[in-house]
Structure 1
Amino acid sequence: MDDGNDLIIRKLQQLAAAAELTFWGFLGCEFVDLKDGVITIALEAKPHHLNPIGMVHGGVTSSLLDTAMGIIAMIARPEEKVVTTNLNVHFVSPLYAGRLLVTAELVHQSRKMITAQGRVEDSEGNLGTMGTGTFRVI
């Protein structure tokens, strides 16, 4: 028998497949896992994700954080829509081409607001970018 987490994972896999023609697919995101309230998505950072000095562009990591935290917010309110109202990003160290893993988890929620936090790390676990996001339930 499936538990609730298995159902959520299947729904996330369906959403990821449907999102291939959206910004998700344009970036090259992939759903990896949902476990213990933490979502993991990944991106294989390629030359077109880099800035002119060879590092992953900050806009890419910001988008990855917004995406992962947004998914966590959507999981928290599956019957409602949520939109980003604030995104706070800290660029801790440079990230380069290769596999990036993005994790996000819920921090707090109220009737109309959800707060999440996230991290972008390289394949060796080095932190590159971290942030928080606030999402309005509409």
Structure 2
Amino acid sequence: MSQKSAQDHYLALASMYKAAPINAFYLPEMVVSEGEAVIEIEACEKHFHSAGAVHGSVYFKMLDDAAFFAANSLEPEFFVLTTSFTTYLTRPASSGKLKSVGKVVNSNKSQFIAESVVYDEKGREIGRGNGIFMRSKMALADVPGYS
């Protein structure tokens, strides 16, 4: 790591995540470690579709964010970008704490490949996804909240 230790980088990524305006709606909590990110969101009625279960956008957000931050944990200087992401919704959920775990499964000079799984409060898989992420030209130091 250039200016920050690995642990400081992980904490700065979590701070950046919390600062994102979209997260005022979802109220997620995140922990980042080397090649991994864990996100939790308490499912509530504001996350529901018309039939009373959690909307797929919540699944996607949790899956993409966990995979994204797992990837960015391995990139200390630049913000990464999601270039593609595939989502599978495997079970409905309507209450409790949802937890997604993202892990980098491959990386090279130009991209990261990460997978993620989201679980309901009983530990059952409710969705999974995988994505490709690439380094952008934006320095993390220039991203609001990365401190």
Q: TM-score, normalised by structure 2?
A: 0.80
Is 1:12 aligned to 2:10, yes or no? no
Change (3 A) 1:37 1:82: closer
Distance 1:134 1:17 in 2: 23
Q: Structure 1 vs Structure 2: percent identity of aligned residues?
A: 27
SS of alignment partner, residue 53 of structure 2: coil
Output the CA distance in 1 between the equivalents of 2:18 and 2:90.
31
CA distance in 1, matches of 2:105, 2:36: 11
2:36, 2:14 → 1: CA distance? 15
1:48 aligned residue (46, 61, 67): 46
- SS of 1:106's partner is strand
Q: How many residues align?
A: 132
Tell me if the contact between 1:50 and 1:97 (Cα under 8 Å) persists in the aligned partners: no
Q: Unpaired runs of 5+ in structure 1? A: none
Which structure 1 residue ranges, 4+ long, deviate > 4 Å from structure 2? none
Q: Note closer, same or farther for the CA distance 1:76–1:35 as it changes in structure 2 (3 Å cut).
A: closer
Q: Is the 8 A contact 1:106 1:115 kept in 2?
A: yes
Q: In structure 1, how many angstroms separate the alpha carbons of the residues matched to 2:73 and 2:7?
A: 13
Q: Which has the higher helix share?
A: 1
Structure-2 change in CA distance of 1:122 and 1:84 (3 Å): same
Structure 2: give runs of 5+ residues left out of the alignment.
137-147
Q: Which has the higher contact order (CA 8 A, sep 6+)?
A: 2
SS in 2 for 1:15: helix
Tell me if 1:28 matches 2:35. no
Structure 2 counterpart of 1:113, from 111, 114, 121: 111
What are the superposed Cα offsets for residues 66-124 of structure 1, whole Å, 9 maximum, x if unpaired?
11111111111120121111110111111112210111000111111111000110111
TM-score (norm 1): 0.85
